[in-house]
Structure 1
Amino acid sequence: MDTKLKKNKSKRKVSIDLIAILIMIVLWACAFPSDYYLHPRTIDFIQYFLLSTVVCLIVGKVLFHFNYSPKQREFWRGSALVYYVHLWKGRIKDRTITLSILIIFVLTAIAGICGWKVATSFYRRDTVWLILYVVLYVLLVIPYIMSRFSRFVKIVNGTKQIAEGNIQYTIQETGKDALSRLAGYINNMKLGYQSALDNQIKSERLKTELITNVSHDLKTPLTSIINYVDLLKKEELQSEKAQSYVQVLDRKSLRLKILIEDLFEVSKMTSGAIELDIETIDVATLLKQAIAEFSSNVGDASLEIREKIAQSPIYADLDGNKIWRVFENLIDNAKKYSLPGTRIYIYLDEDTDKVSFKIQNTAVYEIDFAAEELFERFKRVDESRQTEGSGLGLAIVKSIVELHRGDIKIEINGDQFNVIINLPKYSLVAG
């Protein structure tokens, strides 16, 4: 709309309504000099007659144009009034800015009225000053205020674009006034933020590559250690102490293997270097299998699992192996950090376009930090690290959920620890 208005204004140098005002001023000026020679009533009659004539001519022109012109809408598109109305609707949407403009208009109008009153106290022809003020107000004050506020609104909208994450947006700088300097400062801040963001992304990429490379390099010697430990386990060792050493080596090497695999996997997910094998799966059956597999281990901790699955089957387009890993990590996490003798509740339900999963347990440790920190790598509830674990379980879960375009959150209510996951039923990613 703004482009069309600008084109119309470029075709017509002076808008139709301003032309009408100028015609009235010229006609009035022609009649004004006779004020010194004619009776005041005669002067008033001439002025009102001329003004009425101009108004009638303009109204007649408009009616004629709208009756016979094939392009009726083009007639008023070049009007300054129409231009200001579109400018108001298209750019000035903020209530605070709108109120500021109205206040400025009211104050300038009051100032003009006061000036008009003062002028008429010295000069009896108050119509002269009234018309002069109206003309100056329409030709100078309104365009100036609207142009200044239009630039201000552009800066506000541009700042909003940048704040919403569109750091490629650049606010136009015109002139050398305070508004132009403000736009320049905001653009410079954006460039500084973009540079810092690029450096952070580069640093994260290098860190991920380092972790991936180190994890990969550790796999080969660790595999050799595990294989030799297996050979030692098959040997008939005479010393009980040697047998216990082998058992410790076996347990620690397997734990180190899991840690390296988790670290390698979370690094790949964070960098986006992983593809999902999307297929239609029965989420309810998959969850029941995960619960059945881990129920025996959970029983050793004097814990009880209560599943509340709304219905079965529940179908969704997901990566079955990755979702299994989600269930595996969350159930294992609940087993490790639940208060002995309590229950673990697992819920599964579906909606029109999503599958909702929730696991709830009573925490054995007090959580005195923000729940979102648990999604960070190597962050653990057990700060003393007496409980086995890599501290990567929830980080992996979050990465898998986000790869599926789902959402995950943690809610803590006293000792109650809840993990809530929503997954889309229909794939939003390419398989």
Structure 2
Amino acid sequence: MREKIKNYVTGVWGIEILTLFILLVTLIIGYYQAFNAGSEEQVAATFDALFNKEKYIQSMIYYESKDISQYIYSNSNDLEDISAIKYENEYLSDNLHYYDEIFYVLINKETGDFTTNDVNLYRSVETYSDNVALLEDNINSYLKESGFYSIRLDNKEKYNYYVMSLSDKINMKNIDKYIEIYYKNPIAYSYLIKTESLSAKTMIVTTVIAAILFIKIIFNSIFNRNNIHLEIKVLKRLIFVLRYGYKYRNTRNKIIFSVGGAIGVILIYLYLVAGIRNQNLLVTFLTRYPFKGTLILVLIPLVCVLYSLKKSLDISIINDGLRKINSGDLEYTLNNTGEREVKELVENINQIKEGYKIALNEQVRNEKLKTELISNVSHDLKTPLTSIINYVNILNEPSITEEERKDYLMILDKNSKRLKTLIEDLFEASKLNSGKMKIEKQKLDIVSLVYQGVGEYSNLYEEKNIEFKVSSNEDEIILDLDGKLMSRVFENLIVNSLKYSLENTRVYIDIQSKENNVEISFKNISNYEMDFNTEDIFERFTRADKSRNSSVEGSGMGLAITKSIIELHNGKIKIEVEGDMFKIYLVIPKK
């Protein structure tokens, strides 16, 4: 999970870019409507509902006063005769809902007279013909005590919404004489304020998300260019289904069924549902926008069904791939493009195929090694055996001298011992590989074992003048080892170094004690061209010198035996070749 999160955070994804584009378009439209439209029409802005409720309510009162302003101006001939609306307004006030309707006050700046559609205001405020300011103060006190929100229009610098919205010029002769006050109970806007506040909060959260996405995309585009994935999986999968869905019977039937069902939904909706008229928001939307509603009702289930076909289509494609693999095309690899379960299935099939390829290649390799083994065993056993037979025949000749007889007996002794060594090595290697070998571990100093082996065998091949350099990061390294078997390991490696090293060179043996294991390396310069496979060299009767030159004695099983002994101690062995430098590493665990 952490890797998935890290991979997402440090990458750029196509769905993010699409999401950011949609968010930006939505935000631009939303902010334009929230600010630009509000400033042009001088109506309430969305963010005022969240940050300045009083301003929002006043803006709404200003906007909603248009109808009553139109009524007043029409009936009073643009405020020329306000008495024509006075009694009518008093009649209206008795029928108005206290919380839902807008009230007004018209104050004559010259006479101090006022008219209103609020009966309570008439009863509470007296007319002050000589002091308009005092009259306004009393009206404001009444509005404040009653909890009303109001707007004041002096008809000099600010006019009502009805006047401002008219395209034709209005007679301003009488309008300038009056002050207009419109007011309403703020409770009427509670639900609207909640809705607009939620819209404002949503826009803020959306802005933050868009900003984070934008920063993430820009940052990763600069610093993580290797982890950019512009494909959009949802769209890709839908296109995938539409492109290949008709190719397979299973998915083709579902597509036909889905399209038929979608057409049926359209017909049912157009002939039945479109006639329903309720106040339900969804039904209202569908009846007001029948084409858009139909499109939504059809597309949602259609997209869902097409998307659900992805797995069926994946299985059909997997079956096609399996047929190719079964026909013998082991190079064909199934594409891992499905859902999580399908991906696991594809991965497992590909792993099985790779395992089968490895097993097949291993079988071919084993057959080749068996052939080479028989050839090598025949060669290595036949050489001393033929020599023994030939010299036995010579010894039977009565004409040979006593000196010749002694020389031939020495050769026979040498070849018979060589034949014995080959047979013993073969049996030992077979015993080690059979798993029947029991090791007897004891506490031993591996550094001493190495020095002991060098001391015993370094004098062989004196004519080659090979020098051993042993180094260790600790003077003593105690491990649980089978001393006899490990001595055989170092004997094989030291003797091999002597056999195959270039004359007048050094063999470097490095012993490193680490936290959990001990690593021992042997490095020497080879006296022949090394063109062998480092894995095959561990096989029985395989020698680095492919010519199997008889001047270099060896059974070809030394490294095979060494590898088996190291593995019995739960260790590992590996060979590296660098030019003429031959390196072999032993890794032995401490526990």
* TM-score between the two structures when normalised by the length of structure 2: 0.41
Aligned counterpart, 1:358: 521
Q: What secondary structure is seen at the aligned counterpart in 1 of 2:540?
A: coil
* Residue 269 of structure 2 corresponds to residue 104 of structure 1: no
Within 5 Å, which residues of 2 pair with 1:283-302?
Answer: 283-302=446-465
SS at match of 2:458: helix
DSSP-derived class of the 1:125 partner: helix
Pair 1:403 & 2:535 matched: no
Structure 1 residues 100 and 283, CA gap change in structure 2 (3 angstroms): farther
Cα deviation digits, residues 212-264 of structure 1 (max 9, x gap): xx9xxxxxxx9xx9xxx9xxxxxxx9922221122111111111111111111
CA distance in 1: counterparts of 2:503 and 2:229, whole angstroms: 61
Partner of 2:584: 419
Instruction: Supply the distance in 2 between the matched residues of 1:126 and 1:411 (Cα, whole angstroms).
Output: 71
CA contact (8 A) 1:298 1:304 kept: no
Equivalent of 2:352 in 144, 162, 165: 162
Aligned to 1:128: 294
Deviations 1:155-192 (A, max 9, x none): 31322552575xxxxxxxxxxxxxxxxxxxxxxxx6x9
Q: In the TM superposition, what are the counterparts of 1:23-102 in structure 2 within 5 Å?
A: 101-102=233-234
Other-structure match for 2:431 = 268
Answering whether residue 452 of structure 2 is matched by residue 281 of structure 1, we say no
In the alignment, structure 2 segments of 5+ residues that lack a partner are 1-226, 244-261, 264-269, 271-285, 315-337, 379-384, 393-399
Larger-gyration structure (1/2):
2
Structure 2 CA distance, aligned partners of 1:369 and 1:202? 18
Could you tell me which residue of structure 1 aligns to residue 308 of structure 2?
143
State the shift of 1:200 in Å: 9.7
CA offsets, 1:36-67, max 9 Å, x none? xxxxxxxxxxxxxxxxxxxxxxxxxxxxxxxx
Q: 1:419 to 1:198 in 2, by over 3 A?
A: closer
| Alignment-mate amino acid for residue 274 of structure 1 | M
Deviations 1:262-320 (A, max 9, x none): 11111222333322223332111111111111122254431111111222211222322
Gap change, CA 1:199 and 1:348, over 3 Å in 2? closer
Aligned with residue 492 of structure 2, among 317, 325, 329: 329
Matched to 1:289, the amino acid is: Q
Tell me, in whole angstroms, the C-alpha distance in 1 between the residues paired with 2:359 and 2:488. Answer: 36
Gaps of 5+ in 1: 1-94, 166-189, 215-221, 230-236, 427-431
> 1:106 Cα shift?
6.0
Residue-by-residue CA offset, 1:98-142 (whole Å, 9 max, x unaligned): 96843434648999xxx99xx99xx9531122122113323x223
Q: Check 1:313–1:256 CA distance in 2 against 1; reply closer, same or farther (3 A cut).
A: same
Query: CA 1:330/1:395 → structure 2, altered by over 3 Å: closer, same or farther?
Result: same
Equivalent position of 1:153 in the other structure: 343
Amino acid at match of 1:396: I
Measured at CA, do residues 109 and 321 of structure 1 come closer, stay the same or move farther in structure 2, by a change above 3 Å?
closer
Q: Would the aligned equivalents of 2:525 and 2:581 in 1 still touch at CA under 8 Å? A: yes
CA distance 1:197–1:100, change in 2 (3 Å): farther
How far is the alpha carbon of 1:97 from its aligned partner? 12
Q: What TM-score does the superposition give when structure 1 sets the normalisation length?
A: 0.54
Post-superposition shift, 1:375?
1.8
Task: Report the more deviating stretch, 380-389 or 391-400.
Answer: 380-389
- For residues 294-313 of structure 1, what are the structure 2 equivalents within 5 Å? 294-313=457-476
Q: 1:203 to 1:418 in 2, by over 3 A?
A: closer
What pairs with 1:185-200 in structure 2 (closer than 5 Å)? none
Partner of 1:377: 540
Letter in 1 for 2:531: D
Residues 304/196 of structure 1: CA separation in 2 closer, same or farther (3 Å cut): closer
Q: Distance in 1 between matches of 2:365 and 2:466?
A: 43
State the secondary structure of the residue aligned to 2:459.
helix
Q: Distance in 1 between matches of 2:414 and 2:428?
A: 21
In the alignment, does 2:417 pair up with 1:251?
no
SS at match of 1:347: strand
Which one-letter code corresponds to 1:269 in the other structure? L
| Residue of structure 1 equivalent to 2:477 | 314
SS at match of 2:570: coil
Q: Secondary structure at the match of 2:496?
A: helix
1:389 maps to which of 545, 550, 554 = 554
CA RMSD of aligned residues (A): 4.5
Check whether the contact 1:410–1:417 (CA below 8 A) recurs between aligned residues.
Answer: yes
Report the 3-state secondary structure (helix = DSSP H, G, I; strand = E; otherwise coil) of the residue aligned with 1:253.
Answer: helix
Give the letter for the 2:541 counterpart. F
Distance (whole Å) between structure 2 residues aligned to residue 203 and residue 341 of structure 1: 37
Cα distance between partner residues in 1 of 2:302 and 2:492: 75
State the AA in 2 paired with 1:158: N
Q: Percent identity at matched positions?
A: 34
Q: 1:369 to 1:238 in 2, by over 3 A?
A: closer
Matched AA of 1:157 = E
SS at 1:405 equivalent: coil
Amino acid across the alignment from 2:296:
L
Q: Is the 8 A contact 1:350 1:356 kept in 2?
A: yes
What is the number of residues matched between the two proteins? 279
Q: Aligned partners of 2:533, 2:363: CA distance in 1, in Å? A: 28
